[in-house]
Amino acid sequence: MKQAEQALSKAFANIDIDAVTAAVIADDPEAVVIINSLKEALQCAKDGIIGRITEINISPAAQTRNKTGLSQAKFAAALNISPATLRAWEQGRRMPSGAAATLLKLIDKRPELLNEL
């Protein structure tokens, strides 16, 4: 997180907050109602203060599919499962069975194996 704050601070170091807000108002006069929060947000960015960082955990099934470059529908068809089953695995609502989990591990290590199914 420290790296992100430093990068943000560096990127906004020379920003002229008044000039930016004036440009926003010139472009959209109705934005005058958010001028104070805009100035505050720009100052936070200039100071390197990050309001929120969202981390997304991608399921192993989704990571494996992403390695193949296939859509959910095509990946599911290649595995001879329904797209709904694949979505459930990717969303963490269900886990692949033993055989399916083993197949996913193999495909994860060697995505080209999918062409042999």
Contact 12, 42 (CB under 8 A): yes
Task: HSE, CB side, 13 Å, CA atoms: give it for residue 66.
Answer: 7
Tokens in use for 26? 């010139």
Q: Which residues contact 98 (CB under 8 A, 6 or more apart)?
A: none
Domain that holds residue 80: 60-116
- 65 and 29 share one domain: no
Instruction: Give per-residue pLDDT as tens, 17-58.
Output: 999 999 999 999 999 999 999 999 889 888 888 777 778 889
**CATH code for position 109:** 1.10.260.40
| Structural domain includes residue 53 | no
Question: Cβ of 67: how many Cβ atoms within 10 Å?
Answer: 14
Same domain, 72 and 108: yes
Average pLDDT over residues 78-99: 95
11 plus 38 within the same structural domain: yes
Do 28 and 65 lie in one domain? The reply is no
Report the pLDDT value the prediction gives residue 56, as an integer from 0 to 100. Answer: 85
CA pair distance 117, 101, nearest whole angstrom? 15
Put residue 92 in one of left, alpha, beta given phi > 0 → left and psi -120 to 50 → alpha.
Answer: left
Looking at the structure, tell me whether residues 32 and 67 fall in a common domain: no
pLDDT score recorded for residue 116: 84
pLDDT at 9: 75
| Same structural domain, 65 and 39 | no
